[in-house]
Structures are given as structure tokens and as C-alpha cells.
Amino acid sequence: MKLYSIIAVTAVMATAVACGSAKPPVPQAAGPVVEITIAHGSVTPTNVTLTAKVGQPITLRVNSDADDELHVHSTPDHEFEVAAKPEQEFSFTVDVPGNVAVELHHLDRTVATIQVQP
């Protein structure tokens, strides 16, 4: 009888440990946000430097009075169509560490360089 009790207790404990070992996913830390304003042929910011980690979300918030394209020179590359309107938001991640340029195509300006770390 003792042997059956020990087996039953061991089975219950193993089930409890197995159920309790599943950890909930860890939310990814919020990444950098770049606030971009395009107005009257000028852009702010220009040439700002930021840091991020591989896989961390990076957000570009754009208020613009003209159409343009944002190019993110990273792995993978990203392109975003900017409309002449306020409160646009574009998010992306980078898979490979290194310096990533964020450029406006039509205005030919570098908005930011993001130093992506492993």
C-alpha cells in the first residue's frame, strides 16, 4: 500500500511541477521612438543617433505636409510611404546588428542613424 501511495504522490508532484514550469512570454521592451516633422521642405530631426537591440521594435511617428518615402537601410530593408497628413506611425525591427540609416527619399535627408546592438 505504501508503494502505491508513493507512486501516486510522485505522479501528482510531477504534474504540478510540469504545469508550473510553463512561463508566460516575456513582453519585449519598448524600443526607440523617432518623432519626425516634415514641413515646408524641411525635416526635423536630422542625423539624430539612437540605440536599439536586435528584434526590438523601432517606431517612426511622422507629421508631414508633403508626400515622401522613408527608407530604412537595414536587414531586412523597410520602406514606408509618407502621406501629407499628421499622426502617421510606422514600426519595424532589425535582425542584424550594425548602424541603420533612416532616410527621407525625396528630401534626400538622413533623419536618424540607429546603432543596433546584439
Give the pLDDT confidence score for residue 108 in this predicted structure. 96
Give the pLDDT confidence score for residue 62 in this predicted structure. 98
Give the pLDDT confidence score for residue 72 in this predicted structure. 98
- Domain of residue 102: give its range: 33-117
Q: Which residues of the chain fall below pLDDT 50? A: 2-21, 26
Give the pLDDT confidence score for residue 24 in this predicted structure. 53
User: What pTM was estimated for this model as a whole?
Assistant: 0.74
Give the pLDDT confidence score for residue 11 in this predicted structure. 43
Is 102 contained in some domain?
Answer: yes
Domain holding 63: CATH number?
2.60.40.420
3-class DSSP assignment, residue 106: coil
Q: How many domains does the chain have?
A: 1
Give the pLDDT confidence score for residue 5 in this predicted structure. 41
Is 65 contained in some domain?
Answer: yes
For residue 2, give the H/E element and its range. Answer: helix 2-20
Q: How far apart are CA 28 and CA 49, in angstroms?
A: 22
Q: Which residues of 47-60 are buried (b: 16+ CB within 10 A; e: fewer)?
A: ebebebbeebebeb
